[in-house]
Amino acid sequence: MVDIKQNVSLQPFNSLAIPSVAAHFVELAQEQELPDIIAYSRARQLGLRVLGGGSNLVLADRVEACVVRNVLLGRALVDEDLDTVILEVAAGENWHELVAWSIAQGWSGLENLALIPGTVGAAPVQNIGAYGVEIADALVSVRAFDLQREDMRTLSNGQCLFEYRNSLFKSAENRYLICSMRLKLHKTFSPMLDYGPLQALKSKIGLRAEDVFDQVVAIRQAKLPDPKRIPNAGSFFKNPVVTGAVFQRLQRQFPDLVFFVVGSGYKLAAGWLIDKADLRGQFGAGGVGCYSEQALVLINPERASSSDVIAWSDRVQQRVEQLFGLALEVEPRFWT
Ligand SMILES: Cc1cc2nc3c(=O)[nH]c(=O)nc-3n(C[C@H](O)[C@H](O)[C@H](O)COP(=O)(O)OP(=O)(O)OC[C@H]3O[C@@H](n4cnc5c(N)ncnc54)[C@H](O)[C@@H]3O)c2cc1C
């Protein structure tokens, strides 16, 4: 019988350390427990909310749902050929530990995604990405329980509808409970070093995936606050993508505008926009504010409530809108 508890604090389970209580809470350690959890929720007319590491969430004071913390574990090599391996990884595995382990096995492809907090199961939800690589580049398929149809489905990479920080699982929120996924990694290392801080590695003779992994870890440790010390959810806003006309208008006004060309559009650095709006190192109610080293990271050092976090997020959006005429989109999911 599954152990479903009531009135459980979620503060230890979210990286912004927001004080929040789950009306109902259960840890999913085995897939066979799912029918009991679903039956419990249906009987009480509760929605199900899937929780991973809580590193991309803004929680309400009280979550009136059955919160299912995914702790499904397991990694297996399921197929290989001369050049590649296919891994099957359970959704509750820690993402960074998976990256470190795969590189130690001699398999590359995930090194640019080192040190991203959270679980494997959440990685496809917003198509995690860093330093020019996204999980979509390695993902073969996702095994997910469809809570609407009440059956297990295998979705191919194409069916996941991956985009920049977006996927089917984000748009059809709360429909799928991801249980595991297959990833394709490489036996021969082919580095992806286009992103600025990694370009210095291009000249290194005998470059290994471990070197890129170490460099990514070092950069991230220098740039991003450790949520255990300073609660945060990483980048709080997406980098806005604008048309050529909007880009030209802004570049005339702000010649030092930071941007990247993406297809026919321009991706603007949201951190730069917030910095330019004089919000870096500024704080509002509850001590919530923009991290002094990286304006894109909203921090909650005093462990304030979600209303303070949302109020600061609104303020950032308003200031950026006033100054640039751009609507910043938030990256974390709001459980309000
Ligand atoms: C310091 C820091 C740095 C970060 N850097 C990056 C970065 O470089 N790139 C990046 O992309 N992200 C980054 N993030 C954001 C975050 O780490 C990722 O979004 C991560 O994938 C969230 O994993 P999680 O397990 O904590 O998910 P949670 O926060 O628990 O959940 C996030 C969403 O996914 C859903 N979800 C979780 N597990 C499942 C599942 N098994 N099935 C279905 N839905 C599920 C939840 O319901 C929720 O909607 C950073 C965060 C922090 C705190």
- CATH number of residue 291's parent domain: 3.90.78.10
pLDDT given for residue 237 in this prediction? 97
Instruction: Check if 241 has its Cβ closer than 6 Å to any atom of ligand 1.
Output: no
Statement to judge: residues 238 and 216 lie in one domain: no
Atom of ligand 1 nearest to the CA of 174: 47
Which residues on neighbouring strands pair with residue 142, listed in sequence order? 155, 181
Q: At what angle do helices 95-104 and 209-223 cross, to 10 degrees?
A: 150
Q: Residue 41 maps to which CATH number?
A: 3.30.43.10
pLDDT at 1 over 80: no
333 Cβ closer than 6 Å to some ligand 1 atom: yes
303 is catalytic: no
Q: What is the pTM of this model?
A: 0.95
The total number of structural domains in the chain stands at 3
pLDDT tens digit string along 188-245?
Answer: 999 999 888 899 999 999 999 999 999 999 999 999 999 999 999 999 999 999 999 9
Q: Which domain holds residue 162?
A: 75-223
The secondary structure of residue 317, as a DSSP letter, is H
- Shared domain check, 195 and 169: yes
Say if residue 201 is in the same domain as residue 135. Answer: yes
Q: Quick one: pLDDT band at residue 134, thresholds 50, 70, 90?
A: very high
The reported pLDDT for the residue numbered 46 is 95
pLDDT digits (tens, 9 = 90+) for 45-76: 999 999 999 999 999 999 999 999 999 999 99
Is the shortest distance between the CB of 234 and ligand 1 below 6 Å?
A: yes
* Domain CATH code at residue 214: 3.30.465.10
Query: In this structure, which residue's CA is closest to atom 20 in ligand 1?
Result: 118
- Cβ partners under 8 Å of residue 49, min gap 6: 63, 65, 66, 67, 68, 174, 335
Is 275 found in the same domain as 305?
A: yes
Atom 23, ligand 1: residue with shortest CA distance: 118
Is 165 a catalytic site residue? Answer: yes
Q: What is the mean pLDDT of the chain?
A: 96
Contact 122, 233 (CB under 8 A): no
Mean pLDDT value across residues 281-289:
98
Centre a 10 Å sphere on the Cβ of residue 6 and count the other Cβ atoms it contains: 10
Greatest Cα pair distance in the chain: 64
- Model confidence at 264, pLDDT cuts 50, 70, 90, reads confident
Pick the last residue of a domain from 187, 204, 223.
Answer: 223
Domain boundary among 169, 202, 223: 223
pLDDT at 263 over 90: no
pLDDT at 195: 84
Ligand 1 neighbour 227 (Cβ under 6 A): yes
Percent of the chain with pLDDT over 90: 95
Q: What is the mean pLDDT of residues 155-183?
A: 96
Same domain, 241 and 322: yes
Domain's final residue, options 223, 254, 279: 223
State the catalytic residue, choosing from 69, 143, 165, 280: 165
Q: Is 126 in the pocket of ligand 1 (CB under 6 A)?
A: yes
In this structure, the answer to whether residues 79 and 66 fall within a common structural domain is no
Query: Strand 139-146 relative to strand 151-156: parallel, antiparallel, unpaired?
Result: antiparallel
- Among this protein's residues, is 331 annotated catalytic? yes
